[in-house]
């Protein structure tokens, strides 16, 4: 079985859609990442193992192959940590595969399972909204404000891998950029009303 989790990369000024494809087979236990990953992407294997262990999750002791497609685009940074670990967990049955396959993800994992901010959230969210082929986008909570101007896609922020797993398994609520945008508009409207009142 191959599990696919949507993601994206910022290449220069362009957004490139990336399919994180995960296959788990019998063989020498290892995690192999292919598809032109840079060193920070390859090092994610150790962050993934450490974060999973902290949460008591089992990364299968089998041969795990991760392909970042398209293979002819070089992948930079640590933003693929989150979609890779969720692809592994979905392929092994630990989280619902169908929901993971319809949710784009970005995020760097800390060793304790925390999610750290990444680059390119605004253009990637705009691109995902224009494509319209995913149900939503999950980003680190620290990046959620960047997606506030974006409409047409449900962007949610998580502080940890555990929060994302709860969201996929149980529908646990994650903060939404849409809600943040609505609160901002209400605050701006209230400020305008206050200022008009002062001028009368």
Query: pTM to 2 decimals?
Result: 0.88
DSSP 71-97: TTS-B-SSTTHHHHHHHHHHHTTSS-H
Q: The sheet that has 154-158: what strands, in order across it?
A: 103-105, 136-140, 154-158
- Side-chain half-sphere exposure of 69, counting CA atoms within 13 A: 11
What pLDDT, on the 0 to 100 scale, is given for residue 198? 60
CATH of the domain at 161: 3.30.230.10
Residues 93, 91: Cα–Cα separation, whole Å: 6
Could you give phi then psi for residue 112, rounded to 5 degrees? -90, 5
How many degrees, rounded to 5, is the angle at CA 79 between CA 74 and CA 83?
A: 100
What pLDDT score was predicted for residue 59?
Answer: 86
Give the whole-angstrom CA distance, residue 93 versus residue 79. Answer: 23
- The number of distinct structural domains making up the chain is 1
Question: What's the CA angle centered on 47, arms 73 and 26, to 5 degrees?
Answer: 80
* Maximum Cα–Cα distance across the chain: 77
Nearest alpha-carbon partner for 3 in 60, 124, 70, 85: 85
Could you list the residue range(s) of the whole structural domain that residue 96 is in?
Answer: 2-199
Strand partners, 8: 17
pLDDT tens per residue across all 200 residues of the chain = 799 999 999 998 899 999 999 999 999 999 999 999 999 999 999 999 999 999 998 888 899 999 999 999 999 999 999 999 999 999 999 999 999 999 999 999 999 999 999 999 999 999 999 999 999 999 999 999 999 999 999 999 999 999 999 999 998 899 999 876 555 455 555 666 555 666 65
What does the chain come to in residues?
Answer: 200
């Amino acid at each position: 079985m191959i599990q696919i989790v949507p993601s994206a990369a910022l290449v220069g000024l362009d957004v490139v859609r990336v399919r994180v494809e995960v296959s788990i087979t019998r063989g020498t236990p290892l995690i192999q990442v292919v598809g032109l990953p840079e060193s920070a992407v390859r090092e994610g294997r150790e962050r993934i193992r450490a974060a999973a262990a902290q949460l008591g999750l089992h990364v299968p002791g089998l041969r795990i192959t991760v392909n970042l497609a398209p293979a002819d685009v070089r992948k930079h940074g640590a933003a693929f940590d989150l979609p890779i670990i969720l692809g592994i967990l979905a392929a092994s049955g630990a989280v619902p595969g169908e929901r993971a396959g319809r949710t784009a993800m970005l995020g760097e994992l800390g060793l304790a399972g925390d999610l750290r901010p990444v680059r390119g959230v605004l253009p990637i969210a705009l691109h995902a909204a224009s494509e319209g082929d995913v149900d939503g986008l999950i980003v680190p909570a620290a990046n959620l404000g960047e997606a506030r101007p974006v409409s047409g896609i449900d962007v949610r922020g998580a502080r940890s891998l555990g929060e994302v797993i709860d969201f996929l398994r149980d529908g646990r609520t994650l903060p939404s950029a849409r809600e943040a945008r609505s609160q901002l508009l209400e605050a701006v409207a209230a400020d305008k009303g206050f200022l008009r009142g002062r001028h009368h």
